[in-house]
């Protein structure tokens, strides 16, 4: 029994069986990046990105997460030094 032509075509490119093809614009962007020289790639990827505009709730949530991380870090440091003595 012969395999379908699409399976043979996908196997030739190294794609996994059942993996969806990328959208045409995604494939085009990937091909453009793959053809850049190293210095071109670095200059394109090091270009700054503008700050995202977030809602007040998202900003408050991110600040709450920062405070939580600092508090947990302090607790871990305290526990570490407490266990040393």
In the predicted structure, residue 65 carries a pLDDT above the cut 60: yes
Res. 61: pLDDT tops 70: yes
Burial of residue 80 (number of CB atoms within 10 Å: 0-12, 13-18, 19+): exposed
What is this structure's pTM? Answer: 0.46
- Longest CA–CA separation in the chain, Å: 72
C-alpha torsion 6→8→13→18, nearest 10: 60
Rg (CA), the chain: 24
Assess whether pLDDT exceeds 80 at residue 68. yes
Nearest to 33 by CA among 42, 41, 22, 43: 41
């Amino acid at each position: 029994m012969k395999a379908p032509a699409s399976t043979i075509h996908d196997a030739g490119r190294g794609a996994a069986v059942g993996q969806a093809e990328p959208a045409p614009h995604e494939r085009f962007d990937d091909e453009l990046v793959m053809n850049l020289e190293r210095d071109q790639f670095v200059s394109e990827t090091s270009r700054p990105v503008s700050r995202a505009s977030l809602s007040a709730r998202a900003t408050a949530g991110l600040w709450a997460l920062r405070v939580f991380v600092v508090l947990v870090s302090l607790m871990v440091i305290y526990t570490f030094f407490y266990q040393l003595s």
